[in-house]
Each structure stands twice: as structure tokens, then as C-alpha cells.
Amino acid sequence: MTVARRLVGFNLLTGIVLGIAFYYAGWYGGHHVVGPSLDYFGDIDYNEVSVFLAYLGGVIGFLIGLGFLNYPIARLRGYPPTLREKETEGVGRYFSLCTDHKVVGIQYLWGIGLFFFIGGLNAMLIRFELLRPEHQVFSAGTYLTLVGLHGTMMMGMMTSGILGPFGNYLVPLMIGARRMAFPRIEALTFWLLMAAGAILETTIFFGGFPTGWTGYVPLANEANAGMDNYILFFALVGISMTLLGLNMIATVVTMRAPGLTWTRLPIFVWGVLSTAVLMVLAAPVLVATLAMEALDRTAQTSFFIAAAGGSNFLYQNLFWVFGHPEVYILALPGFAIVLEILPVFSRKPLWGYRLAVAGLMGVALLSWMVWQHHLFVSGINGDLRPFYMLSTELISIPTGFTFICGMMTLWRGRIRYSVPMLFCLGWFFNFLLGGLSGVFLSDVPSDVTTHGSFFSMAHFHYTIMGGLVFTFMAATYYWVPKMTGFQLNDRLGKIHFWSMFILFNSTFMPLFAAGFLGQPRRVVTYTHGLQFLNDWVSVSAFGLGLSLLLFLYNLVYSLAFAKVPAPANPWASKSIEFQLPSPVPVHNFDKIPVFSSDPYGYGESPAPIAVPAGAPAGRD
């Protein structure tokens, strides 16, 4: 057992080495085997096929190097199956294929965090370029690449931003299970996402891509090889999302402990479930759409080329059939986290449990019926616009359920203003403004001016950054002590909250005005009259970046240096994960618990929600 053996034994390092080797094998194959046989690539310097083959090879090599083939090969050779891999190893398990859902959760937390900060860096560069109304540092094409990198990274990575770290870590604990239904698939979703993130960022070596996160054709057909990175990234994210969703649904439906009826399920698990359903249904549409786009670019088909019998409307429809559920995939886990955390710090039961569940499910259902509001002025189905206006506005009813349940949970409570609670309250403010600005966008006459402007950009940052990222922070401050066993610094947390809340609003509120005053999205130049507004926004955005760095500092300082041990139940929560030791042992439960109530019985009964009376400890 030496260092040398560890290094070659199927981990991140071997994954990267094999990934690079397979990448060049694919590149060679594309250039020297496939490329020459495709005369339509004529005399240009690269061909799209080689880019696709190289990256697909790289992903396969990466997964082989991580050891994803070991299990099927072992089974083929007749070895007995194992559901647990590397769970008892030391730090190395965080850098390898590990089937412990708690390890995967922590891998997700840092992995997603890394790409969140890369996406944020791109946002800083965008705001730097917009300090002056005219071109200054980046060329017009690079600016578009930055916009695309920021948008695609955030929209792609943050879909798993809560289900990845907190869903994987908490769902088995909350339902009293020892693992996820498919632990190996669980690990696969994470490593696919990491491969995808690397592919997206390397687009800068292939000329970038000009389309933003929507990837509209025909522009995407015209674009450089960097466009293929976008296609591969989103396709891999789509596959990862589908698998993640399937895994979550299977786990919640089949692996609940005895006594955990549907009405006793923590609301967070309901949020995960509704999101997972959306993921499973929406992401395959994206993967199929991108497969068509990849064929348009490589095999010279014409799914989306109007002049050759295809339709660019087809792409817009397919993309938004995915894309609108996608934004609720981002928002719903946030709703659930707010409703999960509010009772703990209001010291009251969750008010209107069934209404809250109905709200989550109602949003999930309605999100399938609204996608053409992204195409209100596109000239598609002009006579269907009143319907989409109605369905879009109907979404505010189930969203309102979340609001009333949260507000009534606070009502007459004994509110403790700890950091997770502050972020949840921040969510109410942000999501209220996001929702009310959505009223203008859903209304066709008003949308004519706001469509495609900074107004809509501010709107979805209020709902996604103000909604998802704020609740991500709430969840981090709330659960990371449980996940790591160490407390996060409270003082730094409070400074982080207030700076982030103020600077977030200072960044995005002026953009509503910029949109109404005529600044379209994704432009590198704007009229001189809007410079003050844009400068204000840029400066605030830099401050927001610093505030997020403070969060990173808090994480590193608290978890690596201060190391104040966290009590098992720092928030006096009734939820079952807080009845376990911190950090949670590998097998979660010595005995499978039997549930007797939901975890919201504050002020009702001092009895625990579950007793460990089930099956004795076993391997699985």
C-alpha cells in the first residue's frame, strides 16, 4: 500500500491521464480516418467530426480511468457484485469513483462550487467590458464567448446545484435509507458533470462560441469549432440530469423507511422529487435537440436550416420545451429549501404542508405549458399568445402557495435570525421582485419592449441568483456543519449575507431600468446615456464577487483552520439527519428508523419523529 499504488489505482489522476490519451486518439481518428472520407469538409483546417470524436473519446477515457468499467468487467468475469466502492478510504475517496452518497454530495458541493466560481469570473469580465459604452478590452467575439460561457456554465451546472450536493447527501438520510437506489449511477452523474465543465471551458482554444446559452440556429451552424464544446457540454449535462433525476425518483419512491408516508416526507424531499420529475422529462429533449444540431454541423443534415427544408423555429421550440422546465428545475429546490428551513428557525410547524406540496407540483406541471412565452415576438403561432400569456400568469398561483406557506410559518413564530434563516428571508425579497417583474414579461403588450432586453436579464437573475443561489447559501450554512462536522463562522456568515443581499440588489435592480431604457441583452456596446447605470452595476457586481469570495474564505477558514466541532443538532431541528452524529457515519443508520410523524412538530410534542426500530445493521 504505497503512494505509487494509490496513484495508479483508478482515481481522478488516472482518469485525467486516460482522458487525455483517448482525446488525442479521437482527434487522430477524426483527422486521419474519418475526416478525409468526408469530402464536404474540403480544405478547412479542422473538421467538426474530429472535435466530437476527440471529446467523446476524452470523456470515455476519463470514465474508464476513474474505474467505471471495473464493475461490469468484474461481473463478466464472475466476481461477486459490490454496491460499495472506496467508501472507507481516506481523503482519496473524494478523488475517485465512490458510491457513498455522502461522499458524492461533498464532491458535488466542491465541484459545482468550482464551476460556479469560474462562471462568476466570466460575469466579472463581462461587467468589466461594460464599464465603458464602447469596446475596450475584449474583442466583440470574445465578449460573446464570455456571455455564452457565463450563461451556459450557470444554467448547466446549477441545475444540479442543489440536487447534486444536498439532494444526494440528504435524501437517503431524510427517508431513512443507507444509500441511493443506484449508487454507481450517482457517482457517474457527478463525474460526467466535471468532464462537461472542463469541455465547456476549453472552448476558448477552439475560438469560443457566439450564441449565448440558448445556442440558436442558424448562428450555431455558422459558428466555430468552439460551438461543439457547447453542444457536448449541454448534452453531457442533460445525460447527467436525466440520470440524477431517475436516481432520485427511484430512491424516494422505493426506499423510504417504514412509517414514512407521503404526508410525512420532508418538504425538501418533495422539492427534490418534483425537480427530478422535471429533469427526467425535460433533459432528454435537450439531448435529442443537441444531437440534431451536432448532425447538422457534422453530417450536413438540415434539421434546422430553413433554406434546406429544416426550420429554425423547430430548434427554438425544442430548446424552450427543455428550457422552460429547466428554469423551474433551478427554482423548485430553492422553494423546498426555504420551506424546509423556515420551520426550524420560526420554531413552528410548516404551515399548510399539503398546499406547499401542491404548489411544488403545480409549478412542475405548469412549467410544461408556457415555453412559447420565450417566443412572443418571434412570429411563431401568433394566435396562441393569449394562451401562453394565461398559462404563464397561472404559474404565479402555485408559486403563491409557497409564499403563503412560508409567510404563515413565520406568523407568530419565535424567529431566530441565524445565517441560514437570513438567506431564506432574502429569498422572499428577491423572488418577490423576480416574480413581479415576471408579470411584465408574461404580458404580451409589455413584453414587446422588455423582451430580449436587460429587463428580462434582470428578471431571471432575480429568480435564479436571488432564488437558487440564495437558497444554496442557506442550505450550505444550514447543512455543512452536519456534512463536515465543523461549524461555519457565524460572524463571517452574517457579513456575507448582508453584503451579498445588498450588492445583489444593487447589481440587478438598475438593470430593470436599463432594459426599459432600451439596452438589449448580450451587446458589447450601449448608448452613452446608459453609462452611469452600467458603471453602477459593474461596481456593484465586483462587490458581489468579493462577497462570494468572503463566502469561500469562510468555508476554507472554518473547515480547514478554525475547526470548531459542530454539535449533532446545532439548530435544534427535528429533522432526522440532525438526530445522527456529525459527521454522519458511513452506514448512516445502525438500525433502519421507523417514522411516526413529519419533522415539523415544533411546539407540539417533544417525542422524536422516528425511532431506530427497524432492520439491524447490514451491508446494505
Partner 1 sequence: MRSGAKLLLVGLAVVVGGVLIGLYVSKLTKQNASAAYTWPVKNGANGPEVNITIQTVAAVGPKLSPNPEWVSYLIQKPSGEWARETVWKLPANATVHVTIYNFDGASALRNNYLARPQGVDNNQIVVDGKTLDVLPPDDASHTFAVPQLGLIVPVAPVTDDMKNQCDYAPCSMSNAHRTETFTFHTKGPGHYRWQCFVPCAAGWIDGFGGPMQTIGYMDGFLDVS
Partner 2 sequence: MATGPTTTAAAGASDVNHGRRVVTWWIILSVIATPLVAIFVGPAIPPGNHSAQGTEQVFDNTVMTSIITPVLCLLVVFFAYGLRTFRAPAGDTADGPPLRNDARIQTLWMAVTGVIVLFLAGFGTYELLQTGAGGGQGPSPIAKPANAQKAYEVQVIAQQWQFTYRYPELGGMESNQLVLPANTDVVFHVTSLDAVHSFWAYELGVKADANPGSDNVAYVLTKDPETFHVRCAELCGLWHGYMFNNGRVVDQATFDAWAKKAQADYQVIAKYVPKYAHTYLPDPDRRAG
State yes or no: residue 509 binds partner 2 (CB under 8 A): no
> Nearest approach, Cβ of 28 to partner 2 (angstroms)?
26
Partner from partner 2, partner 1, none contacting 524, C-beta within 5 to 8 A by type: partner 2
> Nearest approach, Cβ of 110 to partner 1 (angstroms)?
12
Partner from partner 2, partner 1, none contacting 41, C-beta within 5 to 8 A by type: partner 1
Can you tell me which of 69, 377, 613, 615 binds partner 2, judged by CB under 8 A?
377
> Nearest approach, Cβ of 436 to partner 2 (angstroms)?
5
Q: Which of 295, 322, 321 is nearest to 310 (CA)?
A: 295
> Nearest approach, Cβ of 12 to partner 2 (angstroms)?
36
State yes or no: residue 137 binds partner 2 (CB under 8 A): no
Chain position carrying cell 410525512: 264
Partner from partner 1, partner 2, none contacting 313, C-beta within 5 to 8 A by type: partner 2
d(CA 309, CA 115): 39
d(CA 14, CA 7): 7
d(CA 119, CA 539): 18
d(CA 475, CA 424): 9
State yes or no: residue 216 binds partner 2 (CB under 8 A): yes
Interacting span for partner 2 (CB under 8 A) from 11-19, 20-28, 379-387, 537-545: 379-387
369 backbone dihedrals φ, ψ, rounded to 5°: -115, 15
Nearer to partner 1, 1 or 44 (CB): 44
Can you tell me which of 206, 368, 516, 557 binds partner 2, judged by CB under 8 A?
516
Nearer to partner 2, 288 or 415 (CB): 415
State yes or no: residue 550 binds partner 1 (CB under 8 A): no
Residues between 471 and 500 that touch partner 2 (CB under 8 A) = none
Partner from partner 2, partner 1, none contacting 411, C-beta within 5 to 8 A by type: partner 2
Spell out, one character per residue from 565 to 594, where the chain touches partner 2: x when CB under 8 A holds, - when not: -------x----------------------
- Burial class of residue 415 in the structure, from the number of CB atoms within 10 Å of its CB (0-12 exposed, 13-18 middle, 19+ buried): middle
Spatial CB neighbours of 2, under 8 Å, sequence gap ≥ 6: none
Residues between 22 and 41 that touch partner 1 (CB under 8 A) = 41
Chain position carrying cell 431600468: 513
Task: Look up residue 587 and give its three cell numbers.
Answer: 452506514
d(CA 521, CA 544): 20
d(CA 175, CA 8): 37
Residues between 31 and 60 that touch partner 2 (CB under 8 A) = 40, 42
- Burial class of residue 32 in the structure, from the number of CB atoms within 10 Å of its CB (0-12 exposed, 13-18 middle, 19+ buried): exposed
Can you tell me which of 101, 264, 324, 461 binds partner 2, judged by CB under 8 A?
264
The answer to whether 182 touches 104, Cβ cutoff 8 Å, is: no
Can you tell me which of 2, 5, 43, 619 binds partner 1, judged by CB under 8 A?
43
State yes or no: residue 207 binds partner 1 (CB under 8 A): yes
Chain position carrying cell 422546465: 325
Spell out, one character per residue from 304 to 323, where the chain touches partner 1: x when CB under 8 A holds, - when not: -x------------------
Partner from partner 2, partner 1, none contacting 137, C-beta within 5 to 8 A by type: partner 1
Q: What is the DSSP letter of 376?
A: T
The answer to whether 533 touches 510, Cβ cutoff 8 Å, is: yes
> Nearest approach, Cβ of 494 to partner 1 (angstroms)?
23
Can you tell me which of 299, 407, 552, 613 binds partner 2, judged by CB under 8 A?
407
Nearer to partner 1, 41 or 440 (CB): 41
Can you tell me which of 8, 33, 74, 139 binds partner 1, judged by CB under 8 A?
139
d(CA 453, CA 516): 8
The answer to whether 156 touches 196, Cβ cutoff 8 Å, is: yes
What Cα–Cα distance (Å) separates residue 452 from each residue in 184, 331, 449? Answer: 41, 21, 8
The answer to whether 152 touches 233, Cβ cutoff 8 Å, is: yes
Residues between 268 and 307 that touch partner 2 (CB under 8 A) = 300, 302, 305-307
Nearer to partner 1, 145 or 588 (CB): 145
Nearer to partner 2, 3 or 134 (CB): 134
Over its C-alpha atoms, the chain yields an Rg (Å, rounded) of 24
Can you tell me which of 107, 189, 211, 221 binds partner 1, judged by CB under 8 A?
221
Partners of 594 in beta bridges: 611
Q: Which of 477, 338, 345 is nearest to 402 (CA)?
A: 338
The answer to whether 211 touches 219, Cβ cutoff 8 Å, is: yes
The site for partner 1 (CB under 8 A) is made up of 41-45, 121, 125, 134-135, 137-142, 145-146, 204, 207-208, 210, 218, 221-224, 305, 525, 556, 560-561
